[in-house]
Structures are given as structure tokens and as C-alpha cells.
Amino acid sequence: MAETFSNGPVDTSSDCRVAFTPGEPLNILIHSRVQALYGASIKATVEHTLGQLGISDGKLEMWDYGALPFVIQARLEAAVKAAYPELSAVALPPARPGILAPGDTARRRRTRLYIPGDQPKLMINAGLHRPDGIILDLEDSVAPAEKAAARLIVRNALRVLDFRDAERMVRINRGDLGAVDIAAVVPQNVDTLLLPKVESGAEVAHADELVRETAAASGRETPVYLIPIVESAAGVVNAVQIAAASPRVVALAIGLEDYSADIGARRTPSGRESFYARSAVVNAAKAAGKQALASVFSDVRDDAGLRAAAEDARALGFDGMGCIHPRQIAIVHTAFSPTEGEIAYARQVVRAYEEATAAGRGVVALGSKMIDPPVVQRALRILRWVDDESDSTREDDA
């Protein structure tokens, strides 16, 4: 009796389950709560996907729980490739036009929302929460047995979903799995790859080379950026070389759960056990001219604790932090955004600088206080942020 290869959860909204038995005459069976309305469309998607994969026989049974076509295609491809591991054909959905914005190394990265790569129901409306970045995660949040399917779901999601103006990020796996991840997502509409558990600059350089080769082979011309994540004592020690290992690196992040475990410490609200590591990552990032990104705050119900952690991270020099739930985004955005007082002071500094420049004075003063060039640069960054925020608000209102 032929083996049946299955993929997908049972009774999970916006998803589906597929069972494929090779070797039998082609027979497609679809079970859907919306059969009357969308049965013909679902069957057409299944038939088209089988055609893309070159499959002309086998029994295909699918239980649909409201999956969008890109999910159906990914689940079906995963099941078929479990039956035929050497199959090289792919089933790509049509790419949504105009969803890849030009890359920007200096864009705001106050928040990056993690979404498990095997949960498409969380991806579909992720852009509505307005994070600065959306991370489709292929690493720790995905069980080993689900990684192949998650890779296909993420690949397809990058082609079809509108994440609004969020940076489109993917956290890949380490090692050989990471190389497969890069080959799958770099040709698609991904902006930035997060490299987990990085411990040396050589790892970043290797990822850079894989990205370069994949982009060249696929004809991609837009840049792909890298954000290494430091998650061990060795990574902290080598943070400087990691941050400077590639021009693709736009930020350096720290992951405190793994770091704390690596040094044998319990993670505490005060962060005392990771103060050195966090400071080292900030300094390494800034020395290389990159952004520094703080770790996630794991208690989604503790708003006060999140606010305190975000404010502490900003005070230490971080530019943003990770979020594991949409409800955390607004709090973190506020913590990493300039206050009204900071904006007013920035305007005063820039005005004083412009007046001094117009008068040919080499010294900038505000009242009785001398203003150094770094203070002027910080003020200019704050006002650029205000302009960007105003542009974003106008787009939302349009």
C-alpha cells in the first residue's frame, strides 16, 4: 500500500491540511466549509499547483479551513515534495506588484514583530498593526518537522501579502538549513535577513556571499540587508567584528534568552545579568555605524514591565526592540520615539546651527551653552523622524 504524505494542521483558521498519496490515478478530494462559494476556485488552485509541480497522478485530499491560495499552494507543495524529495519544480503564486520598496539602511527599526513561519493566519493582517518591521520566523518558533513547509509559506507570503510600509524580514536558520532558507526567500520580496546565534564575523561574511550568489542567479537587483543576532558569550566577545563583517549589515541585535542560558544566569527584570552584553552590542553597533536592536520582552500581559524595559533599552543606546505580540507595538514605539520636549529642543538646536552657519560663525551656541556637532546631528535625526512620521500619518489618512 502506498504511503500517504500529509502537511498542515487540523481545524486551524486560515490554513489547510493536505494528504497526498503518490502512485494512484489522479483523484482530488476537497473538504471545505465554503465549498458552495469557493469550491471551484479551490480546486482550480490545487490543479494549477499540481501542474506547476509536474504531478499528473496520485490521490490528493485537502481539508480547507479558510486558507488563502498562497497557503494552499505551499501546503500542497510541501506534501508533494515529502513524497518526491528530489523534485526541483516549484509552485509560485503570482507576485503582487509594487510591494517591494527601495531599500533603506537607515530606516526606523523601533519595533520588529515576530510571526512564526508556519502560522499564516498571523501573517495576513500583520501590516495593520504598523510595526516598523515584520519578521517571518523560520528558526526557533518553528518545530523541526514543520520547517520545510514554513519555508514555502514564508516564500509565498513574501510574494503576495501587503505588509504596508513594514520592513519585510525573515529570520533564517543556522548552517545548511539557513542556506536553503536564503535560496528560497532572497529571490522574493524580502528586505532583510536576520541571522540567529551569530558568533563570528566569518558567519556573516558567509551569509553575505550566499545572498550575493542567490541574488545574481535570480536576477534580483534590489539590496538584501542583514541583521546578525548575538545570543552567546562568544557572540558578545566578537560583536565588533560581527557588526563590521559586511556592508549589508544594517543593525546588530541581541537575544537575551539564549545569552542568559549560555552564561548560566537567570534573566531578571533588572537585566543586571546582561548589562555588559547589552552595552557591548550597542557599542559594537555604533562603532560600525549600525543600529542596535534590543531583545524581546516575553510577558505580553505586563505593559508596565514592557514600558520600563523599552525605556531602559533606549537609555542604553538601543534603537528598537523585538515584539512577540501586536499589543506591544504601541508601547515600544512610544518608548523609542522622541518626546515633545526633545522635538522642541531639536528645533532650537537646528535653528541655532542654521543661524550660526548663515552668519559664518564656526561656533554654535544656544543661550549660554555651546552646541557640539554630535548634538546638531542628533537634532537633525530627530527632525527627520518627525518628517517621516508626518508623511506616514498623511498616507494613513489618504
pLDDT in tens, 50-59: 999 999 999 9
**CA-based nearest residue to 158, from 96, 213, 105:** 96
DSSP conformation letters of 123-167: HTTGGGG--SEEEEE-STTS-GGGHHHHHHHHHHHHHH---TTSE
Taking the model in full, what pTM does it have? Answer: 0.92
pLDDT in tens, 287-323: 999 999 999 999 999 999 999 999 999 999 999 999 9
Look-up: residue for cell 494528504?
A: 19
The mean pLDDT value for 225-239 works out to: 98
Q: How far apart are CA 311 and CA 115, in angstroms?
A: 24
pLDDT in tens, 245-287: 999 999 999 999 999 999 999 999 899 999 999 999 999 999 9
What pLDDT, on a 0 to 100 scale, did the predictor assign at position 166?
Answer: 94
CA 343 to chain centre: 29
Cell numbers for 3: 504511503
3-state secondary structure of 366: strand
pLDDT above 70 coverage of the chain, percent: 96
Look-up: residue for cell 501573517?
A: 123
Domains, the chain, ordered by start: 5-83 (3.30.230.10), 111-335 (3.20.20.60), 340-397 (no CATH)
Amino acid at 359: A
What pLDDT, on a 0 to 100 scale, did the predictor assign at position 101?
Answer: 55
- Between strands 27-32 and 59-64, the pairing is parallel
CA dihedral for 136, 137, 143, 147, sign (positive or negative): positive
Q: Between these two residues, 307 and 383, which has the higher pLDDT value?
A: 307
How far, in Å, are 9, 74, 245 from residue 55 at the CA level?
23, 15, 44
What pLDDT, on a 0 to 100 scale, did the predictor assign at position 359?
Answer: 83
**CA-based nearest residue to 159, from 128, 115, 120:** 120
How far, in Å, are 84, 102, 176, 309 from residue 334 at the CA level?
50, 26, 39, 12
How far, in Å, are 49, 116, 234, 397 from residue 52 at the CA level?
5, 27, 45, 41
Instruction: Say if residue 398's pLDDT is above 60.
Output: no
Cell numbers for 180: 536553503
Residue-wise over 70-88: b if at least 16 C-beta within 10 A, else e?
Answer: bbbbbbbbbbbbbbbeeee
DSSP conformation letters of 74-129: HHHHHHHHHH-TT-----PPPPPTT--PPP-TT---SEEEEEETT-HHHHTTGGGG
In the DSSP assignment, the letter for residue 255 is -
